[in-house]
């Protein structure tokens, strides 16, 4: 599995993501600096990691979304390359328009940092195929701006198309319909606030994130 992790100034989970990808696939991902205009060729997976790119200035993910590497990500995504955005990566995916909606300040205004119980909603996407719909998994969250917002029409459409990948069991940040992660219509792009990259080793306190990477690996190397 040939993967790339995009690195912005202020990304701080780029290495977590790289370790997760390498642990599961056995291949080191290529770290790509945001100032580059090209991605390595024949990529299977592009990961946009968590963190606080550009210090969350203006809006979370706003500055990162206007960097040189973005057009290359857009065109790879269009070609069907798997794109995984976690936390700040999810915010970037909404800012560049690959996923609908926006991530706003948590409704209680506080930073949430804990293991969150998630219900798997869609088990047919590239990323969620190793889970079972309805299954509850535990994945860490750490964010201040994870309150998913989209207008009612968009939310209805997401549900109709089975694009909701994960939902929070409890309302932890005010997200519309408890949405924790969504996929695009084609199913090759996933954005989620919780960190599967921090739940792949028993030393992390849980391994529920591992199935996401393993499912992805099976599919792209098939």
Partner 1 sequence: MKIQIFVTLKNGVLDPQGKAIHHALESLDFSGVNDVRAGKLIELEVDEGTSDETLEKMCEKLLANTVIENYEIRKLPETVA
Q: Is 105 in the site for partner 1 (CB under 8 A)?
A: yes
Rg, the chain, Cα only: 16
Q: Is 147 in the site for partner 1 (CB under 8 A)?
A: yes
Q: Which is nearer to partner 1, 101 or 215 (CB)?
A: 101
Query: In this structure, what DSSP letter does residue 64 have?
Result: G
Pairing of strands 82-86, 189-192: parallel
Query: In this structure, what DSSP letter does residue 107 have?
Result: T
| Token pair belonging to 216 | 């992805």
Using CB under 8 A, which residues numbered 151 to 180 contact partner 1? Answer: 151, 174
Q: Is 94 in the site for partner 1 (CB under 8 A)?
A: yes
Q: Rounded distance, CA 83 to CA 193, Å?
A: 14
CB of 120 to partner 1, least distance (A): 26
**The one segment of 4-12, 27-35, 104-112, 187-195 that binds partner 1 by CB under 8 A:** 104-112
Q: Rounded distance, CA 140 to CA 193, Å?
A: 9
Using CB under 8 A, which residues numbered 31 to 60 contact partner 1? Answer: 58-59
Q: Is 102 in the site for partner 1 (CB under 8 A)?
A: yes
Q: Rounded distance, CA 145 to CA 163, Å?
A: 21
Contact residues: partner 1, CB under 8 A = 58-59, 62, 66, 94-95, 100-102, 104-109, 147, 149-151, 174
């Amino acid at each position: 599995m040939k993967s790339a992790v995009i690195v912005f100034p202020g990304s701080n989970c780029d290495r977590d993501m790289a370790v997760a990808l390498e642990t599961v696939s056995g291949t080191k991902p290529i770290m790509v600096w945001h100032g580059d205009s090209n991605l390595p060729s024949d990529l299977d997976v592009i990961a946009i990691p968590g963190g606080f790119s550009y210090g969350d200035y203006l809006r979370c993910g706003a500055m990162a979304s206007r960097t040189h590497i973005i057009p290359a990500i857009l065109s790879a995504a269009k070609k069907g390359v798997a794109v995984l955005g976690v936390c700040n990566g999810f915010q970037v995916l909404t800012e560049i328009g690959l996923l609908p909606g926006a991530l706003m300040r948590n409704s209680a205004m506080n930073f949430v940092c804990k293991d969150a119980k998630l219900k798997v909603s869609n088990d047919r996407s590239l990323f969620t195929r190793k889970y079972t719909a309805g299954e509850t998994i535990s994945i860490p969250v750490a964010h201040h701006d994870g309150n998913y917002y989209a207008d009612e029409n968009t939310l209805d459409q997401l549900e109709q198309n089975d694009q909701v990948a994960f939902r929070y069991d409890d309302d932890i940040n005010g997200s519309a319909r408890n949405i924790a992660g969504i996929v695009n219509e084609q199913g090759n792009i996933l954005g989620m606030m919780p960190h599967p990259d921090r739940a792949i080793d028993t030393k992390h306190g849980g391994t529920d994130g591992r199935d996401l990477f393993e499912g992805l690996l099976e599919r792209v190397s098939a």
